[in-house]
């Protein structure tokens, strides 16, 4: 969705509240995701942005109980409204190896991982891998599953699908492998697609094709998208709402217009200033955020961003709460975790 285009999404799909995902290590507990809260409505695209290591991908994996060992969800709720049921399912309470979570994965909530070559099985044809997902969730025979696989390859724009269905991942280009991943993710028409850096390592032409394809299929089947990326240009083009994360926490959340036209957190402002813009007056160096992301076992006291913040004040030695900047009581459209906007 382009900037300034407003759409209202009323029906809830996923509500994340106080999510905390930790990784025990010999040196201490890593709080990879720390008190994260946001929601996704049906048909909505929510972008999750931030530097590497800020907790974006672990948040996505937590939604499907796929946090790698020894990581675990320690607190919070992930309420999933299945088929518009009045009573949502708390995914946090579902055992990671249960039949219920297996039914949800791929069928109701699907995920596209960052690198398709490591996500696709190299010893099976792409058709077999798509057909397996169809057969698992829809309980159809192999012939029908294969036909569905070919149909999905057609829908994602892969040429000569009847031929490609019998090829192996290494025989396809990076763009085609990513399209296969999208075909696998969407073969059961999920309610939510988690797209984790879906255009990583693709050239700009293929990136545009893949993102356009996701938009087309979203409009076709009405799914919501959680778009995890560091590319703010992609967020500006596709997202309805944006969640900005830093050191495992949400530091700002708002509509795409809020974030791009009225960024409040110094970290968000720094990210936006660092974007190259065509036609901008030539500068010697592109603006950047000083310093580096802190080690998760050595986070500074108070606000995690304060050692790098150009506007830090004494209060930053204490952790700020999320402050509502704009809201109507039922829907907080713009919130920020920063002392500069406390009680505003």
Let me know if residue 321 belongs to a domain: no
pLDDT at residue 252, as a whole number: 97
- State the pLDDT at residue 1: 46
CA distance 106 to 135: 12
Q: Are residues 276 and 198 in the same domain?
A: yes
Instruction: Note whether residue 156 is domain-resident.
Output: yes
The 3 state secondary structure assigned to 181-246 is HHHHHHCCCCCEEEEECCCCCCCHHHHHHHHHHHHHHHHHHCCEEEEECCCHHHHHHHCCEEEEEE
Domain's final residue, options 155, 187, 219? 187
**Strands 28-41, 12-25: parallel, antiparallel or unpaired by DSSP?**
antiparallel
pLDDT for 286: 76
- Reported pTM: 0.90
Is residue 333 assigned to a domain? no
Q: In this structure, are 84 and 128 located in the same domain?
A: no
Q: Are residues 81 and 133 in the same domain?
A: no
**Does 287 map to a domain?**
no
Residue ending a domain, choose from 187, 211, 233: 187
- Tokens (6 digits) for 247: 């050191």
Specify whether 177 is located in the same domain as 202. no
**Is 93 in the same domain as 134?**
no
Statement to judge: residues 101 and 165 lie in one domain: no
Question: Is residue 296 within 8 Å of 214, Cβ to Cβ?
Answer: no
Give the three-class secondary structure for 47.
strand
Sheet holding 249-255, edge to edge: 109-112, 192-196, 224-228, 45-49, 241-246, 249-255, 332-336, 323-327
- Note whether 206 and 183 are same-domain residues: no
In a domain, 252, yes or no: yes
Q: Does 232 share its domain with 133?
A: no
Q: Rounded CA gap, 241 and 19, in Å?
A: 19
CATH code, 84: 3.40.50.300
Q: Is 257 helix (H, G, I), strand (E, B) or coil?
A: helix
Six-digit token string for 287 = 């603006």
Residue 179 included in any domain: yes
In a domain, 137, yes or no: yes
- Pairing label, strands 12-25, 72-80: antiparallel
CA neighbours closer than 13 Å in the CB half-sphere of residue 194: 22
- Using CA atoms, how far residue 208 sits from 99, 132, 192, in Å, is 37, 29, 21
Q: Which residue has the tokens 């696989």?
A: 149
Number of domains in the chain: 2
In this structure, what token pair is assigned to residue 70? 């020894």
> Could you tell me if 202 and 102 lie in one domain?
yes
User: How distant is the alpha carbon of residue 37 from its chain centre?
Assistant: 13
pLDDT in tens, the chain (344 residues): 445 545 556 789 999 999 999 999 999 999 999 999 999 999 999 999 999 889 999 999 999 999 999 999 999 999 999 875 678 999 999 999 999 999 899 889 999 887 766 788 999 999 999 999 888 888 888 899 999 999 989 988 889 999 999 999 999 988 888 889 888 888 888 999 999 988 776 778 878 888 888 888 899 888 999 999 988 988 999 999 999 999 999 999 999 999 999 999 999 999 998 887 766 666 667 788 888 889 899 999 999 999 999 999 999 999 999 999 876 555 678 999 999 988 65
Spatial distance between the Cα atoms of 209 and 6, rounded to a whole number of angstroms: 24
Q: Decide: 275 and 233 in contact? Cβ < 8 Å.
A: yes
Which pLDDT belongs to residue 282?
62
Both 162 and 245 in one domain: the answer is no
CB 71 within 8 A of CB 32: yes
Q: Examine the fold and report which residue of 125, 156, 187 is the final residue of a domain before the chain moves on.
A: 187
Identify the helix (H) or strand (E) that includes residue 135: helix 126-138
H/E element holding 148? helix 142-155
Shared domain for 29 and 84, answered yes or no, is yes
In a domain, residue 272? The reply is yes
Residue 121 and residue 23 share a domain: no
Q: Which of 185, 214, 223, 188 is nearest to 14 (CA)?
A: 223
Q: Are 125 and 142 in contact (CB under 8 A)?
A: no
Residue with tokens 């830090």: 312
**Structural domain of residue 29, as residue ranges?**
12-108+192-280
Per-residue model confidence (pLDDT) at position 179: 87
Q: How far is CA 31 from CA 59, 72, 189, in A?
A: 11, 10, 33
277 Cβ partners below 8 Å, 6+ apart? none
pLDDT in the model for residue 283: 61
End-to-end CA distance of the chain: 29
């Amino acid at each position: 969705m382009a900037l300034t285009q407003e759409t209202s999404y009323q029906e809830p799909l996923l509500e994340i509240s106080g999510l905390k995902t930790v990784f025990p290590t010999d040196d201490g507990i890593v709080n990879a995701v720390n008190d994260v809260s946001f929601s996704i409505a049906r048909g909505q695209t929510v972008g999750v942005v931030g530097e590497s290591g800020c907790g974006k991908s672990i948040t996505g994996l937590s939604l499907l109980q796929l946090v790698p060992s020894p990581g675990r969800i320690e607190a919070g709720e992930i309420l999933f409204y299945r088929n518009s049921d009045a009573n949502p399912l708390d995914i946090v309470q579902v055992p990671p190896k249960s039949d219920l979570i297996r039914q949800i994965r791929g069928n109701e909530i699907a995920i596209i991982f960052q690198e398709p070559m490591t996500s696709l099985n190299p010893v099976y044809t792409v058709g077999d891998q798509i057909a397996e997902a169809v057969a698992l969730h829809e309980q159809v025979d192999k012939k029908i599953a294969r036909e569905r696989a070919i149909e999905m390859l057609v829908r994602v724009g892969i040429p000569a699908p009847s031929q490609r269905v019998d090829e192996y991942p290494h025989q396809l280009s990076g763009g085609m492998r990513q399209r296969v991943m999208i075909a696998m993710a969407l073969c059961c028409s999920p309610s939510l697609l988690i797209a984790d850096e879906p255009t990583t390592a693709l050239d700009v032409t293929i990136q545009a094709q893949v993102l356009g394809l996701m938009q087309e299929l979203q409009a076709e089947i009405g799914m919501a998208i959680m778009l995890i990326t560091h590319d703010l240009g992609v967020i500006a083009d596709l997202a309805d709402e944006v969640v900005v994360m830093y050191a495992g926490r949400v530091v700002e959340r708002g509509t795409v217009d809020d974030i791009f036209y009225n960024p409040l957190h110094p970290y968000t402002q720094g990210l936006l200033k660092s974007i190259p813009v065509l036609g901008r007056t030539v500068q010697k160096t592109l603006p950047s955020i000083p310093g580096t992301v802190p080690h998760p076992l050595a986070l500074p006291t108070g606000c995690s961003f304060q050692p790098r913040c150009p506007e830090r004040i004494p209060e930053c030695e204490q952790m700020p709460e999320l402050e509502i900047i704009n809201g109507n009581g039922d829907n907080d459209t713009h919130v920020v975790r920063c002392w500069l906007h406390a009680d505003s």
